[in-house]
Amino acid sequence: MTDVADLPDLPDLPALLEAAFKAERAAARKLVRSGAAADQASALRLTLERSAAPGALAQLLAERRQLRQADAARSAARTAARNAAMAARAARHAGPASAWRGWFDGSALPNPGRCGIGALLLGPDGERIEVARGAGYGNSSEAEYRALIALLDAACGAGARDLTIYGDSQVVINDMHHDAGSPLLAELRGAASALLAALGNVTLRWIPRHKNGEADALSQRAVRSMPD
């Protein structure tokens, strides 16, 4: 049996545990169980010495420490980037209410399948326009886009200005916020963009589904009213 006294300058257990990989920690536990090492610290040192160059345990520990620090730095950078992106999205979707407000939602049953669209437009003088109708065949993203187009068309007809539109489709909202969106949605994006240009001051904002209840109910009603 190897005794701790035979291992000079033994690093403390936390340092060894930090340096050891999972397989090395498992190998050290086997050494203790078999009696080849007196305790966990000496077993870890023996295991790590086998991974190091002869007489280079200290160098191995330093290299492992640097690897963990680099991993931690990369993880922190990813977290910071993710938080910054979330903050940017929140800023883009936040803001005061405008004179006109609209909500849209689209459903495909099944997906892809028959599409139903729902939209609600509210004006500053009590105007209320609802849209609930079938919109052909397609997938859920196409249904959402058709609902947005229907809402924009209704806004044009009502002479809406200073309009904020809310939808729970991240696909559609993000697609409209990028110059080069999905090529599969290019035709629908073009139609929506033309209506946006005609309306002028329009802001698109994403909202979670539970805040889009009225438009969702209108789209669901449209899907249920369509023949199978």
What dotted CATH number matches 100-225? 3.30.420.10
Q: Token digits for 83?
A: 């938080």
DSSP state of 4: G
In tens digits, the chain (228 residues) has pLDDT values of: 444 444 445 578 888 888 889 999 999 999 999 998 889 888 988 999 888 888 888 888 888 889 989 988 998 898 888 777 666 555 555 566 689 999 999 999 999 999 999 999 999 999 999 999 999 999 999 999 999 999 999 999 999 989 999 999 999 999 998 766 788 999 999 999 999 999 989 999 999 999 999 999 999 999 888 877
Q: Which residues contact 175 (CB under 8 A, 6 or more apart)?
A: 145, 181, 182, 185, 189
Supply the pLDDT for residue 92: 53
pTM strictly above 0.75: no
Distances (CA, A) of 206 to 152, 189, 209, 215: 16, 16, 9, 13
Supply the pLDDT for residue 7: 42
Supply the pLDDT for residue 226: 82
Q: Token digits for 3?
A: 């005794």
Distances (CA, A) of 109 to 106, 131, 145, 152, 215: 10, 18, 15, 23, 16
What is the domain partition of the chain in residue ranges?
4-91, 100-225
